Structure 1
């Protein structure tokens, strides 16, 4: 890489990080998660404005491979953090309600997404038809667990029964949705060694059943001696990269290995390890690498060429995405005895897609399941469904209701805990 290329790369990174921070703060001022502004920033740097003149100047062809590498690293780190934050204790005391709502919020949008895929396949190049159909179902079923947690925090719902239930449902739903996406990746990207994908099951068992207990014991011993934070960070980074490479070799995407390694990180006995590692990883990921991913994704979005047919397809995509998620979660809540208002809150919250949806769509584009025109429409759907969450939540679940739900209750059943 020549000195001039390095200079262009550094200049592009400065613009990306600066615009992400600025638009993220603007989004928060408007009552939206910062990720909304950051994604919009990535789109604005792409070909949507001025025919791609901005992206062509800031990110010429010689620097794009380096940016793509940083974007891929950022996605792997983000998926590692999602796996790391999965907490099985969320289901404690409300496993039945969370399971029913999660399955409802997966099955209905998945089924509607499959029907939508058959409709769209006639007007779009889709590659493998089975992979496209399954992908559209999985894409409609996604809920962004980390963005949901931020929305709950911003609205004072994190310590309420409905907030805990929503997080539990999102955690279960995301695991199911990622499993569906793994099937799509296996169908579309198996290459010449389709048998390798079968190794993901023993690999997951190895990580969760062998590596996790070993890490827990080692972390407990080192907590006493106080190892250098950098040593722990390097060890975790090495395991993360090896796990990502392993699933990539199996014919899946590297993000699945990163997610599994995050889920394999120990909870008990590893408080010191998590305290040393998490702040560094989250800071590097959110400040530098994820904005690069938004930019890389935005370079593939062109909204300047949308015509009336595309707007009609976008309306149908939004109808399926919003109606499927809301209807599935609402019906799941009502079946388990959750009151109508709180069931509606669950339906609104489960529509949060955010960055997780963006990762899913990028994977679909890389696998050839999605083409750029449909990819652009799906990106708009991810933005709309995430942006509407906070607005609808404040209407359906006003602040005085939140205060009332923080009052300690003596009832213990999950259905009564979320009246």
Structure 2
């Protein structure tokens, strides 16, 4: 790396960091998730607005490989945080409705996306027709869990029945979408490793959950949980997620799955609710106190150790996410935006974009709304749920980037799909406000026992989402 390249890279990173911060702040002022402003920034810095000459001067070709490497690191850290925030406890009390709505919001979009792929294949041919069809189905099925959490928090419904079910649906949707994407990667001829190496993923996943996860929990609950050792906990976590990402990349499955898997085995407080109160008699939220505060709770040593590891895990995940949000993810947005060129779109491209938007929006909405109504939900809550699961955000952008790398998307179709991701994310907040101007109350929901609602924490503090 030459002195000129290093100087240009540092200046590019400074520019990206400042502009991304401003774009995210502007999006918040417009009551949109920050990711909308940051992704739009990436698109606007590309050839769409500035043209190839200006875009190339800001981010020269000899510097872009280094930006791409940092962007890949940002995606790996993002996938780790997605896995770490995957809360299976959200399903408690909502399994029937969440499972039904999630199935409806995946099956119908996947089917419509596959049909759309058959229509688009002639104008966007790839080496693997089956992989293209499966990829388009998976891309239409995704819901962005982190962005959805931010929208629910901003609307004050994060801890209501609607918020819990929406997040549970998003969690199921994401797991199914990543599974479908893994199948696409496995079937694609563009896989980087031997097809036989892919078989190693199953024993690897079992090893992670049965051995590495418990060992990590014990480590985070040990002496390293004290103040003097928090950096060691972060370093071990970073080393683990990067090694896991390297393994799945080596076997040809893409590094995002290894990073996601390591996040999924991180200790979390997913199931801690009324059970904790019954076990300890303590109703305080331990999330803001130091790890040693858990020792003050009259619980068993095993439970204390579990809580310590959960709290340290949350802090480590927060540090990783904070660094990623400030620098690496904005780099990913710019690198992704540099590949988007809408300036040369003709009538055929605009027609394709309209079809993509129609399939994306209607598939998710009709599938989720029909499934919600089938469970007995009234019209307004069912419509709100259907709008929320249409949120795609950064998760969709990650999937599209993988599709571009695999050769499942060409540059023209990639650009249209990025526009779809932006539109479906931006429309969620305003549509939710139209459907439910106020926080959903008990009278808006069925009387059946499986639909409890709790608004005691509806106005609690916000949380970031990308």
Please give the TM-score of this superposition, normalised by the length of structure 1.
0.95
1:40 match: 40
- 1:297 is aligned to 336
Q: CA deviation at 1:27?
A: 1.0
**Aligned residue pair count:** 415
Aligned counterpart, 1:236 = 237
Equivalent residue for 2:259? 258
Distance 2:221 2:446 in 1: 37
Alignment correspondent of 1:184 = 184
Residue aligning to 1:351: 390
* CA distance in structure 1 between the partners assigned to 2:448 and 2:3 by the alignment: 65
- Alignment-derived partner of residue 385 in structure 1: 424
Corresponding residue SS for 2:221? helix
Question: How far has the Cα of 1:278 moved from its partner?
Answer: 2.3
Q: CA deviation at 1:208?
A: 1.1
Cα distance, 1:416 vs structure 2? 6.1
Q: Does 1:21 align with 2:11?
A: no
The separation in 2 between residues aligned to 1:21 and 1:192, in whole angstroms, is 38
Name the structure 2 match of 1:112. 112
Q: Match for 1:283 among 322, 325, 335?
A: 322
Equivalents in 1 of 2:451, 2:225: separation in Å? 43
Q: Report the Cα offset of residue 222 of structure 1.
A: 2.8
Query: How much does 1:221 deviate?
Result: 2.3
| CA 191–275 in structure 1, closer or farther in 2 if over 3 Å, else same | closer
Cα distance, 1:279 vs structure 2: 2.9
Gap runs ≥5 in structure 1: none
Shift of 1:384: 0.4
Displacement after TM superposition at 1:190 (Å): 3.0
Whether the 8 Å CA contact 1:94–1:413 is kept in 2: the answer is: no
Verify the 8 A CA contact 2:224 2:233 in the aligned structure 1. Answer: no
- Quote the residue 1:329 is aligned against: 368
Question: 2:192–2:250: 8 Å Cα contact kept in structure 1?
Answer: no
Q: Tell me, what secondary structure is at the counterpart of 1:414?
A: coil
| Equivalent of 2:441 in 371, 388, 404 | 404
Equivalent-residue separation in structure 2 for 1:359 and 1:172 (angstroms):
17
Q: Please tell me whether residue 317 in structure 1 is matched to residue 356 in structure 2.
A: yes
What is the alpha-carbon distance in structure 2 between the residues aligned to residue 388 and residue 25 of structure 1?
Answer: 18
Match for residue 313 of structure 2? 274
When residues 223 and 395 of structure 1 are mapped into structure 2, their CA distance, relative to the original with a 3 A threshold, is same
Is the CA contact (8 Å cut-off) linking 2:80 and 2:262 kept in structure 1? yes
Partner of 2:345: 306
- Higher mean C-alpha deviation, range 216-225 or range 281-290: 216-225
Within the candidate set 406, 412, 421, 1:373 is matched to 412
C-alpha distance in structure 2 between counterparts of 1:6 and 1:224, whole Å: 37
The Cα offsets for residues 19-51 of structure 1, whole Å up to 9 and x where unpaired, read as: 111111111111111100000000011111232
Query: Aligned with 2:424: secondary structure?
Result: helix
Q: 8 Å contact 1:336–1:415 — kept in the other structure?
A: no
Distance 1:147 1:301 in 2: 22
1:311 alignment partner, SS class: helix
3-state SS, counterpart of residue 303 of structure 1: coil
Q: Distance in 1 between matches of 2:326 and 2:144?
A: 19
The Cα of 1:191 is off from its aligned counterpart by 4.6
Residue 75 (structure 2) aligns with: 75
Show the 5 A alignment for 1:130-279: 130-188=130-188, 189-191=190-192, 193-222=194-223, 225-267=226-268, 268-269=306-307, 270-279=309-318
CA contact (8 A) 1:48 1:301 kept: yes
Q: TM-score, normalised by structure 2?
A: 0.86
SS of equivalent to 1:265: coil
Q: Quick one: distance in 1 between partners of 2:160 and 2:383?
A: 16
The answer on whether the counterparts of 1:318 and 1:381 sit within 8 Å (CA) in structure 2 is yes
The alpha-carbon distance between structure 1 residues 120 and 366, as it changes in their structure 2 partners (threshold 3 A), is same
Q: Cα distance 1:296–1:224, how it changes in 2: closer, same or farther (>3 A)?
A: closer
